[in-house]
Structure 1
Amino acid sequence: MNKQGQYIYCFFVLIFLFCFLFPLKSQEYKFKTLGVENGLSQITVSDICQDEKSRIWIATLDGLNCYDGNHIKVFNHFHNDSISYGNLYVTQMIEDGQGSLFLLTSTGLFQFDLETEKYYLLPVSSPSIIAKGKRGVWIVEKGKLLLYDKVSHCLIQMYKDLELPDTGTTMVEGVEGTLWIALKDGGVICVDIYGGASLHLLGIKVMKLIRGNDRNIWVGSQEHGVFCFSPEGNMIHRYEYDNKSIYKVRNDMARALCQDLEGNIWIGYRSGLSKIEVASGKIFHYQADPNRVGAMSNRSVTSLYTDKQGTVWVGTYWGGVNFFSPEYQHFTHFHASDTGLSFPVVGAMAEDKAGNIWICTEGGGLNLY
């Protein structure tokens, strides 16, 4: 090759490298942290949601917080004329779309009116889990299933013959109105709109339930793989563990699930991350290596979230947060630092109406990306 040819070759190599690397470096990542110094009542954030007025509501170990974009207002000492409930540990929160928040707390179940900023303690003595439904809020209490009807504002006991364990792990309503409940001692129960109940996965510890974009119900188990059920309650597929095949799921606790915009199912384990390519049935595993560019920062996955752009966010235990770009097929890692994430243990994540990502941490407050 003559010198002119070498120059042309080098020119095209530089152009190729520029086109490949520039998109990876051109984005400027910014984090804003809301901590106790900003008025947050407690640094461990358990849940988050956005109301109709675009305010961000933050559940913590020490009450409820509201962020309006400029200031934080704290509701951490609930009381009425006769009883004080003290500072509440809020474990789960639901926004019903009709002006109320429902707060599952260490004391009981509260309905919080977003307009008047007053709360009401619902007459439910020992609620264990709640879920948002089309007709209202589903509540499991002492083995019974209740519905707080959003029209009549009354508690209705549903399916009187249905006996549930005292506690459950997760609950979700399907598109057809069926309710799926993970049972304490194993299995999942599906209750249809006519009151019929069917039990599935007997003896299998269910860790996570989600309703996918494909209308199906996806179930993550402790050591028995991942299951897919139709909206009607029929099992479509079981993705089993097989140590002889790389195209099988891991034999580990599947404690986080999400579905991306291409229909793939992402599974977060205690020791890894996998993706089920639903169209082909292939399963891909992602290894953690904090020292390698493009790899995951930590193998212990605590939460998964897909944003409106199709990016999959991966929260980890002591490894910060990662996001997986489908376009470039690699992970970008945000670790705990003065300019990055406030704490390396990541919990729930959510996207607001403006496209910002909110990241809950278990010791560093709330992060806005």
Structure 2
Amino acid sequence: MYRNERYHIVKNISKYIILLFLLFGFLPGYSLPSVFRGLSVTEGLSDLVVNALYKDSIGYVWIGTGNSLERFDGTRLKHFLISGANEKIKRVNAIAEMEGNQIWMGNGMGLWRVNTEKDILEPIAAETLHYGVRTLLPDGKGTLYIGSEAGLFIYKNGNLEQKLIDPNVLSASNIITGLSLSEDGILWIATNDGLYSLTLADKKIVPYHNIVEDKHFCSYNNITRIGNVLYLGTMGQGIISFDTQTHKFRPFIDVGCNVISSLSGDGKDMLYVGTDGNGVHFISTKQMKVLRSLRHEPGKDESIRSNSVYSLLVDRDGLIWIGFYQLGLDYSLYQSGLFSTYSSFASSPMPSF
């Protein structure tokens, strides 16, 4: 009898612990603290400017630095150094994965691909694409859209096609900083001089300019899309939203810093925002508010090492990867509870135990 009673007591206590976890876990704004580990030169990182992050289909995390592309397996770093004498244009701007786990990279020198047999970076179409590459977008069907400093390039089946946004190749409209592909075959293009749509069927380009009181606010750093709304990060006006149906621009939520260095999302509700000055912010677009912020706060164990964030990745396992200017990389050691908690607001499945 005693053993049975003890068993039932332990069982009931376990139920209450789970219920308490669920209760506090699903209160708005509540989350468990994240524990971060750092990667810097001490751990083998080739350079301390981390400008791009990507997690591939196998599970490797690719880190774009000021002079190299790094592959991290959770323990070790493998270096793919960028050749060339001009250090100013080596910095990695974008990383993408094509079919067969092919890793591509864009930087100020052009387009590169990882040759896994030789363990080197090899330039792609250098005689044609000899411009800085700012952003990469694979469509999952064999086509890679390349945003460069001289317009859009489309790579398919070994062929490269150039499409200028403005006939004047020197126009700021041809400096492409972000790409987003919608389900209806429209490629949305963020540039240094406005937002543009390219209909893939007929290659028709339509400009959209954000003009407020006769002032032109159209220089964008990055772009991401949730539903019918595009979110555009800027260098001085924070985040701007654009409704693709009404074609209306609107200022979005203030994250305490107008320099948006990184902007991505889960495609359903959450925006992941990195700022150069005020850390990281997670925004629910449905609730229209910041649900959590990560900042450098001296004396706090869960604090990130810097508020100067250059890149941000929330991977498919809910781990957070934060690239800094001159301080390397921070990454969370376990799922913090942030994403399982906040997924309830997006009508996602309950977390399992």
Percent same amino acid at aligned positions? Answer: 21
Is 1:120 aligned to residue 125 of structure 2?
no
Contact 1:170/1:208, CA 8 A, preserved across alignment:
yes
TM-score (norm 1): 0.64
Q: CA deviation at 1:30?
A: 0.7
Contact 1:46/1:61, CA 8 A, preserved across alignment:
yes
Residue 253 of structure 1 corresponds to which residue in structure 2? Answer: none
Residue 67 of structure 2 corresponds to which residue in structure 1? Answer: 62
CA separation of 1:356/1:177 partners in 2, compared to 1, >3 Å: closer, same or farther? same
Secondary structure of 2:109's counterpart equals coil
Residue 217 of structure 1 corresponds to which residue in structure 2? Answer: 230
Q: CA deviation at 1:41?
A: 0.6
Is 1:354 aligned to residue 317 of structure 2?
yes
**Bigger fraction of residues in helix:** 2
Q: Gaps spanning 5+ residues in structure 1: where? A: 1-18, 79-83, 240-248, 250-265, 274-287, 289-297
Q: CA deviation at 1:69?
A: 1.2
User: Which of 42, 51, 56 is matched with 1:51 structurally?
Assistant: 56
CA separation of 1:114/1:105 partners in 2, compared to 1, >3 Å: closer, same or farther? same
CA separation of 1:91/1:220 partners in 2, compared to 1, >3 Å: closer, same or farther? closer
Residue deviations 1:212-258, cap 9 Å, x none? 2214434466669845243xxx544332xxxxxxxxx4xxxxxxxxx
Q: CA deviation at 1:46?
A: 0.1
**Aligned CA-pair RMSD:** 4.0
Alpha-carbon separation, structure 2, partners of 1:188 and 1:101: 28
CA separation of 1:22/1:299 partners in 2, compared to 1, >3 Å: closer, same or farther? same
Residue 11 of structure 2 corresponds to which residue in structure 1? Answer: none
TM-score (norm 2): 0.66
Alpha-carbon separation, structure 2, partners of 1:225 and 1:367: 24
CA separation of 1:228/1:106 partners in 2, compared to 1, >3 Å: closer, same or farther? closer
Contact 1:225/1:238, CA 8 A, preserved across alignment:
no
Alpha-carbon separation, structure 1, partners of 2:151 and 2:30: 54
> Comparing 316-325 with 196-205, which one deviates more in the overlay?
316-325
Q: CA deviation at 1:131?
A: 2.6
Secondary structure of 2:188's counterpart equals strand
Q: Gaps spanning 5+ residues in structure 2: where? A: 1-22, 211-215, 333-353
Alpha-carbon separation, structure 2, partners of 1:133 and 1:28: 34
Contact 1:313/1:323, CA 8 A, preserved across alignment:
yes
Q: CA deviation at 1:330?
A: 5.6
Residue 317 of structure 1 corresponds to which residue in structure 2? Answer: 276
Alpha-carbon separation, structure 2, partners of 1:71 and 1:139: 30
Q: CA deviation at 1:171?
A: 3.0
Matched to 1:40, the amino acid is L
Residue 185 of structure 2 corresponds to which residue in structure 1? Answer: 177
Secondary structure of 2:248's counterpart equals strand
Is 1:98 aligned to residue 96 of structure 2?
no
Q: CA deviation at 1:59?
A: 0.3
Secondary structure of 1:212's counterpart equals strand
Alpha-carbon separation, structure 1, partners of 2:231 and 2:248: 10
Secondary structure of 1:43's counterpart equals coil
Matched to 1:131, the amino acid is L
Q: CA deviation at 1:137?
A: 2.0
Alpha-carbon separation, structure 2, partners of 1:361 and 1:113: 27
Residue 350 of structure 2 corresponds to which residue in structure 1? Answer: none
Contact 2:96/2:103, CA 8 A, preserved across alignment:
yes
Residue deviations 1:145-177, cap 9 Å, x none? 32111xx22223457996553651423132133
